[in-house]
Amino acid sequence: MKKITLFLLFFIGCDNNPIINKNGLKTQNVILITLDGVRWQEVFQGADKRI
């Protein structure tokens, strides 16, 4: 349920609604950052000192 809610909130936030934004989107570049194999502990606490 939590994943579905986050998914819907993401797409609602990315909506190019002409009522809100009359000029449309002007984004020319998209930056995608992926973290494959990174544990949440490494993200918030840093890498393990023993490694």
What secondary structure does DSSP assign to 1-51, as a single string?
A: -HHHHHHHHHHHHT---TTT-TT------------TT--HHHHHH-S-TT-
pLDDT value of position 19: 61
Q: Tell me what percent of the residues of the chain surpass a pLDDT of 70.
A: 73
pLDDT value of position 35: 74
In a domain, 9, yes or no: no
In this model, does residue 24 exceed pLDDT 70? no
In a domain, 38, yes or no: yes
In this model, does residue 10 exceed pLDDT 80? no
In a domain, 4, yes or no: no
Full residue range of the structural domain in which residue 35 is found: 24-51
pTM for this entry: 0.28
